[in-house]
Chains A and B, each alone.
Chain A
Amino acid sequence: MWERTLQDLIRGLRANKKDEAKFIAQAVDEIRQEIRSKDMELKAGAVLKLTYLDMLGYDMSWASFHVVEVMSSPRIHLKSVGYLGASQSFDQDTDVLMLTTNLLKKDLTSKAEDVAVALNGFAQIVTPDLARDLAQDVIKMLTHSRAQIRKRAVLALFKVLVKYPEATPHAMTRLRERLEDSDPGVVSATVNVLCELARRNPQDYLSLAPQLFHLMTTSSNNWMLIKIIKLFGTLTPHEPRLVKKLQPPISDLISTTPAISLLYECVHTCIIGGMLQGTTGNALARTCVTKLANFLQDTDQNLKYIALLALVKIVPTHPYLVAEYQDMIMSSINDQDISIRMRALDLISAMANRDNLQSIVQQLLSHLVRNESAPLPSAVQSLAQHTTSAPASTRLVNAPSQSPAYRLILAQRILALCSQGMYENVTDFEWYLSVLVDLAYIASADIGGEIRDQLVDVAARVRGARRYAVQLMVKLLCDDTFLMHAGEEGSCAEVLWAAAWICGEYCGELAEPQKLLTYLLQPKVLSLSSDIIAVYLQAAIKVFGSWTAELADRWDDDDLPKVRNTVDTVVERASEFASNSDIEVQERAANILQLLTFVRADLNVFRPKVEVGFEYDEPEASGFGEEASAEPRFPKSLCLVRPLFDAYELNPVAAVAQESVPVPEGLDLNAWVVPPPKEDVTPLQEAEPTGETKPKKLKKGKGKDTGAKGKGKKRKDTEDTGDTLIESVETAEDKAERERRKAERLERLRDDPYYLVDDRAARPKIQQDDLDSIPVVRLDDLPPLPTGSAGNSRLPSLRSTPRTATPPSYMVDRVGEMPANARPATPLQEPTPQSLSTVSAGNGAVSAPLPSFPVYEVEDDIPRTGTPSPIKVVRAKKKSKKAGSSNGKKRTTDSTSTQ
């Protein structure tokens, strides 16, 4: 007998630390020999060794049949090795499990030791099949003469019920009897099992309440009491009458028990069990919060941790009680223990409201900032560290915020806090915008994309903050160091996407558009990712367009060289991008080039009109076909670019906008787009459903067309426009023809066995009588609009006064734009009861005139008027935060890719 025992294997492993893999390969070879041996001792030894190797990460699934062999040994010392191997290595898909049914049945009727081992192993390896086949045997064991076995059977029964719920009715009556078992261990195990089962479907276990209540009031076993209390915590939400009954004994326990774990569970159950309602409940709530606050102050970190856990759950119902301890909770965020920080973050997030949001966010930001300075300790500090040689304490405090994962969580938390409920807690959006930019600078975490989305969303939804947003974004775009570090990890370079987009979209707010152009087109931009470059280019042309148009408004012939210069630079820069490897960048650069080549040609032939008499020198490039007398004093091409971009305003699209677009008549959404080849129709016919979908897409844009200036072109690429225009001029004949073909086809398909024909009548007309349910609130007591701003969608003046203590109120376009002919809102959009940021007349200093707010009439076909309309706060629950924020970037007409 030279075989190695487990002990030999382990000694060998320890001796061969340097060449472990080789040693183990050798050992496994031996095991392969031994495991096939006829000698059961040897076989079991091999299985045991394999089980050990399994823990170290070596596969043993190949040996599962041998494991079953060892399990079937009649000798308990071998059998238990087999069961151990099985419970460590088998999973639900192990095929040899089906061989174990009879083995388990036999072992369950064997000696007590065997039954114990078998039950333990069974609880680990049970599958639905095993559970079904052995349910009866396990239930029988519930009345075994030995408490030890009954206990195990109770726990094994839980596994049976999880895998095979059909056994529940029968098992429950037997399980119930165990609550009155003579052995406290069995009762405790039964409560354990009930606790697990009740969590899955509490209603079924309400009938056990009297028995449990009796146990609770008579038992003194803390382990079991904890479980019973927990069990009641899951039951009470489904049986309000229990609350009254439980309140006295639980309050009693809270005030008397010396065991903190039990005390904590009582408090916890009170909270999750909804026992804190009503007058008695309020008193209890106060007790609970006081107890938890005591935990919070305790030196034991564990108590601090669980106190935070429980406080999170009480905040929704009793925020004012928790608010009393806000300072204490705030200090927990600074705890050196990351576990506590994480829970404190949760709690703080739950506590955030309009009043404390700014201070909370400021504090969270400071965590991210402090770190920034950590690598560069001041001279005094480093000196002190050297002399005292006990720097551990100072370093430890900062340790958690060094972890990148924690920084990411922190940054995400800040964003989530501010954006929750569609910014319902944000009172000052200029503050929020600056927070976002700060975050981009200090986060050093992979959060750029989320910050970008927030920036765009806020700029799109909050008109009042746009000017500030543009200012901030210009700063960001001009920041060379930010650009320089953009390639680094955690640099949040995506923010530049938002910066460029916002500057481009709201370029009217720019102070020095021309200056920005050089930044947008600087060669260093090439280091950014291509999607950002594309937005840069697009922004550049938008800025250029708005700049030239403004120049045209106040044309002075002295500007001409300046314009020429700028055009030349832009062309030069854009041509660098035109050869970019990315198709998107290339195309946009090419667009710019073409537009500007045209502008340049126009500029070159432009002759300043010094005298009226010079009108004979009419430049030949007057391709606009206008009257000579109406010829403007400036190069006409200056007004070429802007209309391409500003014909429509971009508004956030409501979450439900798409689905509220009524399906146009005659459009069958279920029709084949590309019919299967079997159908013998000409390609011309096949193409028709494709054509049908297009006008539908356009519909949304067209609805807005009616109200906008007619000269505006579609904000799409020109080819696209041409394409869709053709599609949209579908004449009545076409339509009739199409209908006819469709009918023909349907007729053909009716007898085709491969098709299911929908015989139902066409989609019922959309109900139009539900307009009242659309949540539109008219605010009557608003300050009148300054007449000067009529027709001007921008803020007329820059606010030059410094920020006052009271921030201005902002209008947030929470709901987003709906299509003009929207269907009635779905019931999902209940108006929310929360008070919206109603506009109060700002203090004199902050008299930012309210911008004209687009009105989205829901009546059919009423065009939007150009006149400033009364301000409406459109209140409706947005569908989801996410949908809302992504909508912010969307063109109302089509996807973002066309910008």
Chain B
Amino acid sequence: MIHAVLIFNTSGVARLTKFYTPLRQSAETLVQKIFALVSSRSATLCNFLDAPELESFLSQSSDDGDKLRVVYRNYATLYFVFIVDSVESELGILDLIQVFVESLDRAFENVCELDLVFHFDEAHHILSEIIQGGLVLETNVEEIDSAVQEAAKARKESFASANPLSLGSSGVGGRGSGIQTPLGWLTTKLTGVSAR
């Protein structure tokens, strides 16, 4: 299963952290540790993070002696890191990260780091349409997108009915007040998801 999903930027600031199993160390130190290791890796290296410094952490899932694996991908200013165990396919998770990013991109229309900063709740909602409790819920981007929109619509209607005077965009849910995407950062978007 998937044990954690982390998103942090190239300066190591966490943008989204989701732990599906309880951690044995503080989330911040883990993010920092992984960030330190990941950020020093050049783009040509593989997407699996395996380092002596992580050994103690990775071998902690003592269920059957199988080690955890850190799979990461770098998009513009953000690192997407999945921590998974041996039941997940390594290459499959790489694709899943791509699916996640595409879903974010659809929901935010050219997603950028600022979108995740200001709508971290929305990012969580999108993630929850892909992974639930550490297991993969859906991998089809279309399905995910429609589920995300449906849920967002329900929240919006609920909000509108509770705040009849509001102009629809402020409040707890929904897309924020016109934060544009100055970076248009999904330039390294990979093509051919299902090719591997």
Binding site for B on A (CB under 8 A): 5-7, 10, 41, 44-45, 48, 51-52, 55-57, 75-78, 80-81, 84, 88, 91-92, 113, 116-117, 119-120, 123-124, 126, 148, 151-152, 155-156, 158-159, 185, 188-189, 192-193, 195-196, 199-200, 222-223, 226-227, 230, 258-261, 264-265, 300-302, 304-306, 309, 336-340, 342-343, 396, 403, 405-406, 408-409
Given contacts A155-B137, A158-B135, A342-B51, contact A304 B46 (CB under 8 A): yes
Checking A158, A223, A226, A301 against B44 with a beta-carbon cut-off of 8 angstroms, the contacting residue is A301
A339 contacts B49, C-beta separation under 8 Å: yes
Q: Give min CB distance, B181 to chain A, whole Å.
A: 16
Residues from chain B with a CB closer than 8 A to the CB of A264 are 89-91
Chain A proximity mask over B83-96: 1 for CB below 8 Å, otherwise 0? 00001011110110
Q: How far is the CB of A93 from chain B (nearest CB, A)?
A: 10
Most A CB contacts (10 A, CB to CB) among B92, B150, B161 go to B92
Contact of B48 with A120 in the complex, beta carbons under 8 Å: no
One of B41, B117, B139, B195 near A10 (C-beta < 8 A)? B117
**Would you call A156 and B132 a contact (CB within 8 A)?**
yes
Interface string of B182-196 (1 = CB under 8 A from A): 000000000000111
Is B141 an interface position by the 8 A CB rule? no
Which residues of B are in contact with A by a Cβ distance under 8 Å? 1, 14, 16-18, 20, 22, 26-28, 41-42, 44-53, 55, 63-64, 87, 89-92, 94-95, 117-118, 120-121, 124-125, 128, 132-140, 143, 147, 150-151, 154-156, 158-159, 161-163, 170-174, 176-177, 194-196
- For B90, list chain A residues within 8 Å (CB): 264, 302, 305-306, 309
Residues of A contacting B28 in the complex (Cβ-Cβ under 8 angstroms) = 57
Residues of B within 8 A of A7 (CB): 118, 170, 176-177
Separation of A223 and B141 alpha carbons in the complex (Å): 13
The distance from the CB of A785 to the nearest CB of chain B, in whole angstroms, is 48
A155-B133, A302-B94 are known contacts; what are 17 more A-B pairs with Cβ within 8 Å? A7-B176, A77-B173, A78-B162, A80-B151, A92-B22, A123-B132, A148-B147, A151-B138, A185-B140, A196-B135, A199-B64, A222-B194, A260-B91, A260-B195, A305-B48, A340-B50, A403-B53
Inter-chain contacts of B18 with A (CB < 8 A): 88
Task: Verify A408–B52 contact, CB threshold 8 A.
Answer: yes
Q: Are A113 and B151 also in contact (CB < 8 A) when A155-B137, A405-B53 are?
A: yes
CB atoms of B89 and A192 under 8 A apart: no
Chain B residue nearest to A304 in the complex (CB): B46
Q: Which of B48, B95, B135 contacts A339 (CB 8 A)?
A: B48
Within the assembled complex, what's the spacing in Å between the Cα atoms of A486 and B173?
62
A55–B14 touching, CB < 8 Å: yes
Q: How long is the Cα–Cα vector from A41 to B170 in the complex, in angstroms?
A: 12
Query: What CA separation (Å) do A88 and B162 show in the bound complex?
Result: 26
CA distance A396 to B41 in the complex (A): 10
CB < 8 Å: which of B49, B50, B128, B172 contacts A81? B172
Distance in angstroms between the alpha carbons of A304 and B51 in the assembled complex = 16
With A81-B172, A119-B132, A302-B94 as given contacts, are A261 and B48 in contact (CB-CB < 8 Å)? Answer: no
What would 30 A/B residue contacts be, using CB atoms closer than 8 Å? Answer: A6-B172, A10-B117, A10-B118, A48-B121, A55-B14, A75-B159, A76-B154, A80-B173, A84-B121, A113-B154, A119-B132, A120-B128, A123-B132, A126-B133, A189-B136, A260-B91, A260-B196, A261-B89, A261-B196, A265-B89, A301-B47, A302-B90, A302-B91, A306-B91, A339-B46, A339-B51, A340-B46, A342-B52, A405-B51, A405-B52
Q: How far is the CA of A226 from the CA of B163 in the complex (A)?
A: 47
Closest to A265 in B: B89
Which among A81, A301, A409 is the interface contact of B46 at CB below 8 angstroms? A301
Q: How far is the CB of B99 from chain A (nearest CB, A)?
A: 10
Measured between beta carbons, the chain A residues less than 8 angstroms from B41 are: 337
Asked if A77 and B158 sit within 8 Å, CB to CB, the answer is yes
Q: A261 near B91 (CB under 8 angstroms)?
A: yes
Q: Which residues of B contact A57 (CB under 8 A)?
A: 26-28
From B14, B128, B171, A77 is in contact (CB under 8 Å) with: B171
- Report how far A380 CA is from B165 CA in the complex, Å: 76
Evaluate contact between A338 and B154: CB separation under 8 angstroms.
no
Q: List the A side residues contacting B138 at CB < 8 Å.
A: 151, 185
A336 touches B45 (CB 8 A): yes
A196 lies within 8 A of B137 (CB) = no
Given the interface contacts A51-B121, A155-B132, A406-B52, does A80 sit within 8 Å of B155 by beta carbon?
Answer: yes
**Which of A55, A185, A304 contacts B17 (CB under 8 A)?**
A55
Q: Are A81 and B132 in contact (CB under 8 A)?
A: no
Closest to B133 in A: A123
CB distance from A35 to the nearest CB of B (A): 13
Contact A261/B47 with A41-B162, A185-B138 known, Cβ cut-off 8 Å: no
Partner of A55, one of B16, B47, B89: B16
Bound form: Cα–Cα A45–B174 in Å:
13
Contacts of A301 in B (CB 8 A): 44-47
Q: Which residues of B sit under 8 angstroms from A405, Cβ to Cβ?
A: 51-53
